[in-house]
Amino acid sequence: MEMFDLTIIWAGIIGFGLMMYVLMDGFDLGLGILYPFAPDEDARDVMMNSVAPVWDGNETWLVLAGAGLLGAFPLVYSVFLPALYIGVFLMLAGLIFRGVAFEFRFKSRRNRRWWNRAFCWGSGVAAFAQGAVVGAYIQGFHVENFAFAGGAFDWLTPFSVLTGFGLMAGYALLGATWLILKSEGHIQEWAYRITPLLLALVLGVFGIISIWTPFVNPVVWERWFGHLQLIWVFPALALLSAFMVYRSVKRRDEGIPFVATIGIYVFTYLGLIVSKWPIIVPPNYTLWDAASAPESQLFLLIGVLFVIPIILTYTAWTYWVFRGKVRVGEGYH
Amino acid sequence: MELDPLVLSRMQFAFVVSFHAIFPVFTIGLASYIALLHGLFFKTNNPAWDRLALFWTKVFAVVFGMGVVSGIVMSFQFGTNWSNFSQAASNFLGPVLSYEVVTAFFLEAAFLGVLLFGRGKVPQGVHLFAAIMVAIGTFISSFWILSANSWMHTPAGVELIDYRFHVVSWTEAIFNPSFPYRFAHMAMASFLTGGFVVAGVSAWFLLRGRDPEANRRALSMCLWLLLFLAPAQAVVGDFHGLNTLEHQPAKVAAMEGHWETSGNVPLLLFAIPDQEAQTNRFEIGIPNLASLILTHSTDGVIQGLNEFAPEEQPPVWIVFWAFRVMVGIGLLMIATALIGLLLRRKGKFHQHTGFLKTLVYMIPMPFVAVLAGWIVTESGRAPWLVYGMMAHAEGVTPSLTGPMALFTLVGYVLVYAVVFYAGIYYLTRVVRNGMLPNEERETAGDNFRRPMRPLSATETPFDDDVDPVRN
């Protein structure tokens, strides 16, 4: 066991799982956020149909990351969840309403507008709560004796509200570029029109966060303005991705806007990780402090290494089966 | 009034876990039944089995979906409300609960899709195989959950160092002393639940003359199953009780309303336990019977609650009465199965209106019995979270305040009320629409049928307005 540091392997697995979750559930939550602004009911049908076969598979990654945290990094689980108590409830309520709306909206006519509302509010609340979690993570937690010791609304600060709206805008951008890929005609045209606006919003919020973060957190300040110059490559690549989104929308490319938006996420995510590494429960606890016993990590690793390839195959297969455009008045067959 | 976060957290956990439990307890039994129907169709090629399999798979899809939704909430409860417990027990509970997630995903990814949407698209043998694998998968899932729960009742294979459990032996921890009994008791409860729901719904169809051939077969099969399972469950329950007597004597004393250690203990049929006075205010019982059941001798001595300090006693009133509700329903089940046998000998179990109506009214009973049983075992563990090692008060989240806990408790009640009202309402529509010839069935329209989603396996519309696209 000396050959491998199980804690590093687990950090990789959970980091990967969370990234998959943010990207994949991101675009379908984003469509929920854009829902009330859609030009017509046809567009709403197409938006929902474009994610209906995949959304619950997307949510799989959240549950896997959550269960993995309890198994491999229990301190994260037992500090983040109490610290974000109200936020976690709002996120779960949002995800439940959104999930149920997916199922019943299509089977419903008379009650359809209620399911529309559940879909849009559920998605928005869940996205905001997730963004606020990121903000709370950057701020850090008041931990005493391996337990959260702060108040119910410590997490809710102007900074975390900003990151909450930031992630809502980011998810909306993912949703809009996904819609470019999956739709055509006036719906695609609408998606092309809103993408630059959302991109500007995202860049604005990310800009404020990037300037604000080093002031919120001295460790981050040291990391970015200290000796480690190489990390500036991540924001540079994120900006390059943003430029690609803008240019590809101008040229009316269909696939590149979505791929480039993923680029923005991946490089921002990596930037966040290198800002904090190896602190996992800020301000004091590292990955190794938060880890469970090595034999527990190993026991669980066996099962997870078995199931992840299966989930990936299943996911790839589902996306392959449902590839191509979604048209008005036509679901999947 | 002082809002106690501990009491509110326990209420919240009891609420969300009860709401969650009713779905898996049904799907576990139903999955095996569906696999059996597929097997019978495979072997006999009788289309009646196929019609039944198709209908019950739709019901399965809806209930499974609701189980998944309510299960997501469960996986966060440990962290939000019981963070000290999560932190302390994570070395064991983390991997075990995660293995349940891993199993569920494997099941969903590999076989559920084939079962729900593979009809006519994959060879019949493959479809049967998928049905069997889904049934096995539900058991593996419950294996992990019940192992974790049993460990909290009879902790084994661990050392407690500095408020943290460290696993010394995985085999001893996973297969802890109460696990085999709890697993058997719960597996049979799932079969009984599935059996009574299928019997009740088949009876409902028979009362309306809907597909009598298939439903008569289904009912006949269920009645045979219940005839063996209902009495067998009483025996398994007795073994489980003896195991509890060995490891958690306070729980058994509370179940029996037995305050003073003594021999010749009566089996109380009715009593009003008074915890403050540490006695029963009124009792009617059968002499010596509790001694006989628990020690297999009429003068056998049973430990009373007086051997435990009042603050280490479980809430006797709840445990005592929940136990009687469970056993009472169990006896009702045995009686129902026996009446079925009598009517079968006269050859009219499928025509006797009164019996069929009784079966319809029996549908909710196994769910009530299961919840009552869980209340017995979970309340009976109080004040312990991990029996003898960690109290409820030590496991609760230290930063949690009363108002926070009240907010989420009310919130979950509201969310579940809306979601499960919609779910149950929809499920009754699926059943009302079931086992009809194709031309009489309402559908939500082909345009909105999308594969790969559990609920998409049904085409029943949610509300009365039929889809304008089709009309």
Q: Is B37 on the interface with A (CB under 8 A)?
A: no
- On chain B, the residues whose CB falls within 8 A of the CB of A68 are 98
- pLDDT, residue B456, reads 62
Close Cβ partners of B332 (under 8 Å, ≥ 6 residues apart):
B362, B365
Q: What span, in angstroms and rounded, lies between the C-alpha atoms of A204 and A217?
A: 20
Nearest beta carbon to residue B95 from set A146, A296, A332: A296
Nearest beta carbon to residue A310 from set B84, B109, B453: B109
- Min Cα distance B242 → chain A (Å) is 32
Domains of chain A: 7-321 (1.20.1630)
- pLDDT, residue B450, reads 46
Give per-residue pLDDT as tens, A77-134.
999 999 999 999 999 999 988 888 887 887 777 778 888 899 999 999 999 999 999 9
Q: Given an 8 Å threshold on Cβ–Cβ distance, is B72 in contact with A81?
A: no
- pLDDT, residue B111, reads 85
Give per-residue pLDDT as tens, A24-81.
999 999 999 999 999 998 899 899 888 877 887 788 788 888 888 999 999 999 999 9
Q: Given an 8 Å threshold on Cβ–Cβ distance, is A97 in contact with B412?
A: no
Nearest beta carbon to residue B95 from set A71, A147, A329: A71
Q: Is A141 on the interface with B (CB under 8 A)?
A: no
Nearest beta carbon to residue B83 from set A71, A82, A102: A82
Give mean pLDDT, residues A172-182: 96
Confidence tier at A218 by pLDDT (50, 70, 90): confident
Residue B283 forms beta bridges with which residues? B271
Q: What span, in angstroms and rounded, lies between the C-alpha atoms of A233 and A224?
A: 11
Q: How many CB atoms within 10 Å of residue B120? A: 7
Q: Is A295 on the interface with B (CB under 8 A)?
A: yes
Whether the CA torsion A67, A68, A73, A79 is positive or negative: it is negative
Provide the residue ranges of all domains of chain B, joining segments of one domain with +: 5-247+340-436
Q: What are the tokens at A192? A: 């092309």
- pLDDT, residue B447, reads 37
Instruction: Kindly tell me if the per-residue pLDDT of A325 is higher than 50.
Output: yes
Type and span of the H or E element at B39: helix B5-44
pLDDT tens for the 471 residues of chain B, in order: 578 999 999 999 999 999 899 999 999 999 999 999 999 999 999 999 999 999 999 999 889 888 877 888 888 899 999 999 999 999 999 999 999 988 887 777 778 888 887 787 788 999 999 999 999 999 999 999 999 999 999 999 999 998 899 999 999 999 999 999 999 999 999 999 999 999 999 999 999 999 999 999 999 999 999 999 999 999 999 999 999 999 999 999 999 999 999 999 999 999 999 999 999 998 999 999 999 999 988 889 999 999 999 999 999 999 999 999 999 999 999 999 999 999 999 888 888 999 999 999 999 999 999 999 999 999 999 899 999 999 999 999 999 999 999 999 999 999 998 888 888 888 999 998 888 776 566 554 443 344 445 566 676 777 664 443 333
For the stretch A177-215, what's the b/e string if a residue is b when 16 or more beta carbons lie within 10 angstroms of its beta carbon? Answer: bbbbbbbeeebbebbbebbbebbebbbebbeebbebbbe
End-to-end CA, chain B: 58
Mutation target vs A (from B421, B450, B465, B467; most A CBs, 10 A cutoff): B450
Q: Is B453 on the interface with A (CB under 8 A)?
A: yes
Q: What span, in angstroms and rounded, lies between the C-alpha atoms of B61 and A122?
A: 23
Mean pLDDT, chain A, as a whole number? 89
Give alpha helix (H) positions in B261-380. Answer: 289-295, 316-345, 353-362, 365-379
Would you give the DSSP letter of residue B466?
P
Nearest beta carbon to residue B83 from set A78, A95, A299: A78
- pLDDT, residue A223, reads 81
Q: What's the residue count for chain B? A: 471
Tokens 């009574």 label which residue? B196
Q: Given an 8 Å threshold on Cβ–Cβ distance, is A93 in contact with B167?
A: no
- pLDDT, residue B457, reads 65
- On chain B, the residues whose CB falls within 8 A of the CB of A42 are none
Q: What span, in angstroms and rounded, lies between the C-alpha atoms of B280 and B65?
A: 45
Residue B280 forms beta bridges with which residues? B273
DSSP-assigned letters across all residues of B108-135:
IIIIIHHHHH-TTTS-HHHHHHHHHHHH
Q: Which amino acid is at B278?
A: Q
**pTM of the full predicted structure?**
0.90
- On chain B, the residues whose CB falls within 8 A of the CB of A293 are 91, 166-167
Q: Given an 8 Å threshold on Cβ–Cβ distance, is A329 in contact with B450?
A: no
- On chain B, the residues whose CB falls within 8 A of the CB of A52 are 450, 453
